[in-house]
Every structure is written in C-alpha cells, then in structure tokens.
Amino acid sequence: MSYTKETKSEARALEDFEAVIARAIKKVGARKENELCKYIPMTTGGYMHHFTLKKMKRRDPRELATLIEKFILNPTAPSSISPKQRAPRGSRKKKDFPHLNRTQIEQMIALARNANAREILALLTPKKSLAAIKKELIQSIKQERIDETLWANYTESVPLK
C-alpha cells in the first residue's frame, strides 16, 4: 500500500511541477519552456542556460519549481536578465608581439639571411610543402648552387618508412 501512496504523491508532485511551468510560461508570454531561462539568474552571472534548466527538470524539479516561483511567479512583473558578459572574439591573442606587415617580415628575413641567423629564419619563414621544397631543391641543383638549409628542410619533411 505504501508503494501506491508514494507513486500517487510523486504523480501529484509532477502535476504540480508541470502546473508551475505552465503558469510561468503563460505569465511571461513565452512559446517554449526554454524561454523561462532568461528570467532565472545564476550565481555566476547572467541567466540560466537551457541545458541547466533541462538538467534541473530531470534531477531536481522541486528546486527548479522554487526558482520559477521566486523569480517568475511571485514578482508582479518578472524582469528579463541580461546575458553573461563574454570575452570578445580574438581577446586571447598575444598582445606583446607587434603586428608586422608582409614587407616588414620580408625585410626581417633578409636581415636574418645576411646575419646567417638560422634559428630566426626558421621562425620567420613559413613551413613549405614537400613538393615546394623538392621544386626549390631541383632548381638550386640546376643552377649549380648548394643550399644547406634547403637540404635540411627536405630531409626533415620527407616521411620515414
């Protein structure tokens, strides 16, 4: 008998919970349940994410019902909460290195070549494809010119079998 009483009380609680959600949707004038999120604030700032709403609905419906009553049903005019502030796009870029245009980079590469600074050259020159390196190597051989850095780049680029 206690089992049926428990299932009846759970069913009653579920009906009450659904009624709370229905009243909140009607009060706010929302079309979907997810639109209630914009009226429930979070401690981290901004409003509740719709995934959090779904998770609370499954795991802790009483807590969600309490939040809905507190922030939507009890106030006379529930207020929409502004979204959480996010970092702007590109804000994670390093700001300590100056932005150089193409001609400035080419000038730095020429200076590094004149100074025979191979590490700096390796940092400034973009990685070339194996086909491009082969082509340059064949051209240097045809011109009877030896380029050790080109050969080193070729040996690094060739996959080992």
| Domain coordinates in residue numbering, the chain | 11-73, 99-126, 129-161
Helices (H), 60-124: 61-68, 102-114, 118-124
Q: What are the residue ranges in the chain where pLDDT is below 70?
A: 1-6, 90-96, 161
How many other C-beta atoms can be found within 10 angstroms of the C-beta atom of residue 69? 14
pLDDT score for 93: 60
- Pair of tokens at residue 102: 């193409």
Residue-wise pLDDT tens digits, 62-104: 899 999 999 999 988 888 888 888 777 766 666 667 788 888 8
pLDDT score for 94: 61
Can you tell me the distance from the alpha carbon of 2 to that of 25, in angstroms, rounded to the nearest whole number? 35
Can you tell me the distance from the alpha carbon of 54 to that of 49, in angstroms, rounded to the nearest whole number? 9
Looking at residue 35, what DSSP letter applies? G
pLDDT score for 95: 66
pTM of the model: 0.51
pLDDT score for 99: 80
Classify residue 73 as exposed, middle or buried by CB count within 10 Å of its CB (0-12, 13-18, 19+): middle
